């Protein structure tokens, strides 16, 4: 079973957020409850195809053991005779976690021989790692060529919920988009214009659209090379009678730091020496009103420099407005999910995706190799 145990850790090597581990537990418990011998595989970090103890999954195995109240054995590697011998020793209902699959270059290369060696460790392949489903790697897609393949509960639910909001959304349909850059989100924005009625845009990515409209954004983050693409998307929205709502005011400051002096500015009056670092109160009110009217809402990306405390107000307001909404609410993972988690509002949302890049590519309309291999 492929899981996504690529969890964040601090400098001491302790897990700081186990959401990805807990998300896989229902599938794990179901499988061992059927009496199967369960072999788990995952990656952690970017060890670049070499063994690096910094990226060992030993800590994850220990943590999972505590969560399951059941021993999770730890393999020394993910392929080879020793691993095969350890799996043979497993009894019905027991679990072993393979060492980081990215310790081998064949993983990210989707090498057929490496895939085959992984496949030799099991009789059935279950993919429950939606967060890596956009990667055509050996442990996410390659193994499926050698074994009967199925989706786990987590992956199945992710696909079901994301398809629901993209293929059968109830109007009014609203997408909230933030984050620093639009470079990786041009396809997403274009696809969402086809599916949604209104796009509420904040964060650094909104600056490029504001500048494309002729707004002076001071020294704010902006992708000047993408101004033409931004204009094209604004034109597309107008032709399709869709609305892209950009900030009317902003929280601006001279520097991006915890102790900088922040000021509320009208969007057409950003001082030359300042940068936009959050949406302002007027924009927050407009965004919240549109969220309150919506029946379907997708959110991806914070609308301010969320890593700094004094620029979290806009993102927090978006989270609270969605939490009290009666709409179907879906969060596309990443920093948006972290913001909701910090506010303790997780249970108020219809679905919080465990994917980052996978969610973005799915919402963009791309075929994910890890999903496709379970559906074929």
> What is the mean predicted confidence (pLDDT) over 258-272?
94
Do both 234 and 282 map to the same domain?
Answer: yes
Q: Which of 248, 260, 262, 238 is nearest to 206 (CA)?
A: 248
Task: Determine contact, residues 203/307, Cβ cutoff 8 Å.
Answer: no
> Tokens representing 19?
């959401």
Do both 170 and 127 map to the same domain?
Answer: no
> Tokens representing 15?
């897990």
State how far the Cα of 335 lies from the Cα of 16, in Å rounded to an integer.
Answer: 15
pLDDT value of residue 11: 87
Domain encompassing residue 146: 19-153
Helix or strand or coil: residue 58?
A: helix
What pLDDT, in 10s, does the model give residues 328-367? 999 986 788 888 888 999 899 998 888 878 888 888 888 8
Does a structural domain hold residue 50?
yes
How far lies 31's CA from each of 93, 125, 331, in Å?
A: 8, 12, 28
What pLDDT, in 10s, does the model give residues 63-112? 999 999 999 999 999 999 999 999 999 999 999 999 999 999 999 999 99
Do both 101 and 239 map to the same domain?
Answer: no
Does a structural domain hold residue 285?
yes
Classify residue 210 by burial, with Cβ atoms within 10 Å: 0-12, 13-18, 19+. buried
Do both 32 and 88 map to the same domain?
Answer: yes
CATH of the domain at 51: 3.40.50.1260
Does a structural domain hold residue 224?
yes
What pLDDT, in 10s, does the model give residues 106-154? 999 999 999 999 999 999 999 999 988 999 999 999 999 999 999 999 9
Number of domains in the chain: 2
Other CB atoms closer than 10 Å to residue 205's CB: what's the count? 26
Do both 104 and 165 map to the same domain?
Answer: no
pLDDT value of residue 335: 80
Other CB atoms closer than 10 Å to residue 180's CB: what's the count? 16
Do both 208 and 282 map to the same domain?
Answer: yes
pLDDT value of residue 63: 97
Q: How many residues does the chain have?
A: 376
The DSSP-derived string for 293-309 is: H-SEEEEES-SS-TTSG
Does a structural domain hold residue 11?
no
Does a structural domain hold residue 74?
yes
Task: Determine contact, residues 74/97, Cβ cutoff 8 Å.
Answer: yes
State how far the Cα of 131 lies from the Cα of 60, in Å rounded to an integer.
Answer: 17
Does a structural domain hold residue 258?
yes
Do both 215 and 339 map to the same domain?
Answer: yes
Does a structural domain hold residue 12?
no
Q: Which of the four pLDDT bands, split at 50, 70 and 90, describes residue 269?
A: very high
Q: Which residue has the higher pLDDT, 148 or 184?
A: 148
Do both 95 and 172 map to the same domain?
Answer: no
- Classify the phi-psi angles of 243: left when phi > 0, otherwise alpha if psi is within -120 to 50, otherwise beta: beta
* Active site members: 20, 181, 334, 357
Q: Which of 23, 25, 1 is nearest to 354 (CA)?
A: 23
What pLDDT, in 10s, does the model give residues 43-52? 999 999 999 9
The CA angle 371-374-376, to the nearest 5 degrees, is: 105
Does a structural domain hold residue 166?
yes
Do both 149 and 195 map to the same domain?
Answer: no
Q: Which residue has the higher pLDDT, 375 or 293?
A: 293
Do both 129 and 207 map to the same domain?
Answer: no
Domain boundary among 153, 171, 204: 153
> What is the mean predicted confidence (pLDDT) over 258-265?
92
With a cut of 60, say whether residue 376 has pLDDT above it.
Answer: no
Do both 188 and 124 map to the same domain?
Answer: no
Do both 174 and 139 map to the same domain?
Answer: no
What pLDDT, in 10s, does the model give residues 297-306? 999 999 999 8
> What's the chain's average pLDDT?
93
């Amino acid at each position: 079973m492929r899981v996504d145990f690529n969890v964040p850790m601090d400098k001491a090597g302790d897990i700081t957020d186990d959401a990805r581990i807990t998300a896989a537990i229902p599938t794990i418990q179901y499988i061992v409850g059927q009496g199967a011998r369960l072999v788990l595989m995952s990656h952690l970090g970017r060890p670049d195809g070499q063994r690096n103890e910094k990226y060992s999954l030993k800590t994850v195995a220990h943590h999972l053991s505590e969560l399951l109240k059941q021993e999770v054995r730890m393999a020394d590697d993910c392929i080879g005779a020793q691993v095969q011998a350890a799996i043979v020793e497993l009894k019905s209902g027991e679990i072993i976690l393979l060492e980081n699959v990215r310790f081998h270059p064949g993983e990210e290369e989707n090498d057929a021989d490496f895939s085959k060696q992984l496949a030799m460790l099991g009789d059935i392949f279950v993919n429950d790692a939606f967060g890596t489903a956009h990667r055509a790697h050996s442990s996410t897609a390659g193994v499926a060529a050698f074994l009967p393949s199925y989706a786990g509960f987590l992956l199945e639910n992710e696909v079901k919920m994301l398809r629901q909001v993209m293929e059968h959304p109830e109007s009014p349909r609203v997408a909230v988009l933030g984050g620093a850059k639009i470079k990786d989100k041009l396809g997403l924005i274009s696809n969402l214009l086809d599916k949604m009625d209104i796009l509420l845009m904040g964060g650094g990515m909104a600056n490029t659209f504001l500048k494309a409209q002729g707004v002076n954004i001071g020294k704010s983050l902006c992708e000047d090379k993408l101004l033409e693409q931004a204009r094209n998307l604004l034109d597309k929205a107008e032709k399709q009678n869709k609305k892209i709502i950009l900030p009317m005011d902003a929280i601006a400051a001279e520097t991006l730091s915890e102790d900088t002096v922040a000021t509320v500015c009208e969007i057409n009056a950003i001082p030359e020496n300042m940068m936009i670092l959050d949406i302002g109160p007027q924009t927050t009110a407009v965004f919240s009103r549109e969220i309150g009217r919506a029946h379907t809402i997708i959110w991806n990306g914070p609308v301010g420099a969320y890593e700094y405390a004094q620029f979290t107000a806009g993102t927090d307001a978006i989270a609270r407005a969605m939490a009290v909404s009666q709409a179907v609410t879906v969060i596309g993972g990443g920093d948006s999910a972290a913001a909701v988690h910090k506010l303790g509002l997780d249970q108020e949302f219809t679905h919080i995706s465990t994917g980052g890049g996978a969610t973005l590519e799915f919402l963009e309309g791309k075929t994910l190799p890890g999903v496709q291999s379970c559906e074929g």
